[in-house]
């Protein structure tokens, strides 16, 4: 995981996302947090390298959530994760969500556009 100036805020947002999904009756919720099963690592078929999403859950479709803080949106690590998770979502008819702090939707959408990635942006 990339170093963040605001790791505590990141962890709070992961917890918030997982709790929200529990309250909305999503199923098979996994989160990269104590008290939850860890999401399955998503890997590139060509290399076997991959990343673990922050949260995954079953709803009408499978959902992958990657939480970013203001200081991580433009990281290369973030670009690598988003590219992989968006590809996985497309191949598996899943929904890829980028969860960001309130007020940063334009930054996240700009970065997604730069990378040519399709994702739903959720401000928390």
Q: Which CATH number covers residue 27? A: 3.40.1350.10
Domain count along the chain:
1
Residues in CB range of 97: below 8 A, 6 or more apart: 63, 64, 65, 66, 119, 120, 121, 122
Model confidence over 36-50: pLDDT tens digits? Answer: 999 999 999 999 999
Model confidence over 10-25: pLDDT tens digits? Answer: 999 999 999 999 999 9
Q: Give pLDDT, residue 1.
A: 46
Say how far apart CA 7 and CA 50 lie, in whole Å.
Answer: 21
Give me the domain span that covers residue 17. 7-123
User: Is 6 exposed, middle or buried (CB count within 10 Å of its CB: 0-12, 13-18, 19+)?
Assistant: middle
Q: For residue 8, give the H/E element and its range.
A: helix 7-23
Residue 1 lies in a domain: no
The angle subtended at Cα 124 by Cα 3 and Cα 19, nearest 5°, is: 90
pLDDT higher than threshold 90 for residue 6:
no
Task: Output the average pLDDT for the chain.
Answer: 94
Residue 24 lies in a domain: yes
């Amino acid at each position: 995981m990339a170093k963040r100036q605001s790791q505590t805020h990141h962890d709070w947002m992961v917890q918030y996302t997982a709790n929200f999904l529990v309250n909305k009756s999503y199923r098979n919720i996994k989160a990269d947090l104590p008290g939850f099963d860890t999401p399955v690592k998503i890997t590139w078929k060509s290399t076997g390298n991959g990343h673990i999403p922050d949260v995954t859950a079953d709803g009408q479709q499978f959902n992958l959530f990657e939480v970013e803080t203001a200081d991580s949106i433009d990281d290369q690590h973030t670009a690598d994760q988003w590219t992989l998770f968006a590809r996985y979502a497309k191949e598996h008819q899943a929904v890829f969500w980028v969860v960001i702090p309130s007020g940063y939707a334009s930054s996240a959408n700009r970065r997604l556009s730069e990378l040519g990635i399709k994702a739903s942006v959720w401000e928390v």
